[in-house]
């Protein structure tokens, strides 16, 4: 499975998330205790089993501090797919940043 193909010009975070959900990225990896997946597919316990398929950055037009990045992430087998949203720059969440640092890119 290769990385995501270009998803077009999306202007908002919610547009990108909606497209990704439509492509099967339905889990919210920002939730540390996601009960809807088996323990062996828990990205927080087993990050080595997951890959980043793509990422999309946003900057607020009116506020440069309104910055976010959406990661499309799936298990190496492709069975588990979801998104992780994080700020970047001063808005970055250290825990999410650490988790992303443990993941490799699929491409």
pLDDT at 63: 54
Residue with tokens 């949203």: 85
Secondary structure element (H or E) that encloses residue 84, with its range: strand 81-87
Please give the mean pLDDT across all residues of the chain: 83
> Does residue 80 contact residue 26 with C-beta atoms inside 8 Å?
no
- Cα 81 from Cα 74, distance rounded (Å): 4
Residue 38 has pLDDT above 80, yes or no: no
What is the pLDDT, as a whole number, of residue 3?
A: 44
* pLDDT above 70 (res 66): no
Q: Which has more confidence, 11 or 104?
A: 104
Q: What is the rounded average pLDDT of the residues 32-38?
A: 69
Query: How sure is the predictor about 58, in pLDDT bands with cuts at 50, 70 and 90?
Result: confident
Complete edge-to-edge strand list for the sheet that includes strand 104-105: 27-28, 81-87, 67-75, 50-59, 104-105
Token pair for 101: 């640092």
- 70/35 Cα distance (integer angstroms): 22
From residue 101, alpha-carbon distances to 38, 40, 50, 92 in Å are 23, 20, 12, 13
Q: Specify the pLDDT at position 72.
A: 96
């Amino acid at each position: 499975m290769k990385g995501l193909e270009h998803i077009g010009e999306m202007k908002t975070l919610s547009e990108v998330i909606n497209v990704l959900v439509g492509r099967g990225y339905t889990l919210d990896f920002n939730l540390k205790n996601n009960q809807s997946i088996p323990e062996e597919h828990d990205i927080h316990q087993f990050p080595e089993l997951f890959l980043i398929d793509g990422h999309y950055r946003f900057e607020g037009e009116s506020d440069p501090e309104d910055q976010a990045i959406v990661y499309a992430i799936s298990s190496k087998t492709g069975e588990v797919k979801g998104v992780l949203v994080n700020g970047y720059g001063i808005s970055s969440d250290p825990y999410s940043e650490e988790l992303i640092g443990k993941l490799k890119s699929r491409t």
